[in-house]
Structure 1
Amino acid sequence: MLVPSLPEPTSLQPVASAVRPRRRLWLGLALGLAAAAAAAGGYWWQHAEPGLPAGIAFGNGRVEADEIDIAAKFGGRIAALLADEGDGVRAGQVVARMDTQDLETSLHKAEAQMLGASRMLDEASASVEQQKAQVKLAEQQLARAIYLADKGYATTEILDQRHQQMDAANAAFAAANARVGEAEQTLAAANHDVDLYHINIADNSLVAPRAGRIQYRLANVGEVIGAGGKVLTMLDTGYVYMDVFLPTAEAGRAMMGSDARVVLDARPDAPIPAKVVFVSDQAQFTPKAVETKAERDKLMFRVRVRVDADYLRAHSAEVGSGLPGLAYVRLDPGTEWPISLAGRTDEQSR
Structure 2
Amino acid sequence: MTPRSRVGLAALIILVGASGLLFLAPVRQFLFGPPTGPQQIVVSGNIEAHQSVLSFTQVQAPIVYLPFDEGKYVQADTVLARVDDRFYRRQLEIDRANLAVASKQVAVDTSNLAAAQNTVVSDRFDLAEKKRDFARDKAQIKSGAVSRQAYDLAFTAAAQASAALARDQALVRVARDNISLARANLAAAEAKMKLDEVTLSYTTLRAPFSGVLAIREAELGELAGPGVAIFTLDDLDHVWLRAYVNETNLGQVRLGEPVAVTTDTYPGKIYHGRIGFISSQAEFTPKTVQTHAERVTLVYRIRIDIDNPTHELLPGMPADATIALLPPGK
Question: TM-score scaled by structure 1?
Answer: 0.72
Q: C-alpha separation between the residues in 2 aligned to 1:295 and 1:266?
A: 27
1:57 lines up with 2:41 in the alignment: yes
**Gap change, CA 1:166 and 1:330, over 3 Å in 2:** farther
**5+ residue gaps in structure 2?**
1-35, 139-150
User: Deviations along 1:271-291, whole A, 9 cap, x unmatched?
Assistant: 222221222312212342x68
Q: CA RMSD in A?
A: 2.5
The structural deviation recorded for 1:142 is: 1.3
1:138 lines up with 2:123 in the alignment: yes
Pairs within 5 Å for 1:1-350? 54-74=38-58, 75-152=60-137, 155-280=154-279, 281-288=281-288, 295=294, 298-308=297-307, 312=308, 315-332=309-326
| Corresponding residue for residue 22 of structure 1 | none
Q: C-alpha separation between the residues in 2 aligned to 1:305 and 1:216?
A: 25
**5+ residue gaps in structure 1?**
1-51, 335-350
The structural deviation recorded for 1:202 is: 0.4
The structural deviation recorded for 1:132 is: 1.3
The structural deviation recorded for 1:295 is: 5.0
Question: TM-score scaled by structure 2?
Answer: 0.76
User: Deviations along 1:85-142, whole A, 9 cap, x unmatched?
Assistant: 1111112222111222211121111111111112212211111111111111011111
Q: C-alpha separation between the residues in 1 aligned to 2:244 and 2:72?
A: 33
**Gap change, CA 1:333 and 1:225, over 3 Å in 2:** farther
Q: Which moved further from structure 2: 141-150 or 191-200? A: 141-150
Q: Could you say which structure has the greater relative contact order, defined with CA pairs below 8 angstroms and 6 or more residues apart? A: 2
Q: 1:251 is paired with a residue of what secondary structure?
A: helix
- Give the share of equivalent positions with the same residue, in percent: 23
User: Deviations along 1:38-96, whole A, 9 cap, x unmatched?
Assistant: xxxxxxxxxxxxxx994432212222212111011133322211322111111222211
Q: C-alpha separation between the residues in 1 aligned to 2:101 and 2:321?
A: 67
Q: C-alpha separation between the residues in 1 aligned to 2:290 and 2:317?
A: 17
User: Deviations along 1:25-47, whole A, 9 cap, x unmatched?
Assistant: xxxxxxxxxxxxxxxxxxxxxxx
User: Deviations along 1:231-284, whole A, 9 cap, x unmatched?
Assistant: 110111232001122221123433333322212223343322222122231221
2:236 corresponds to which letter in structure 1? Answer: T
Q: C-alpha separation between the residues in 2 aligned to 1:273 and 1:287?
A: 29
| Corresponding residue for residue 11 of structure 1 | none
Q: How many pairs align? A: 277
CA contact (8 A) 2:284 2:295 kept: no
**Gap change, CA 1:247 and 1:165, over 3 Å in 2:** same
Q: 1:317 is paired with a residue of what secondary structure?
A: coil
**Gap change, CA 1:110 and 1:238, over 3 Å in 2:** same
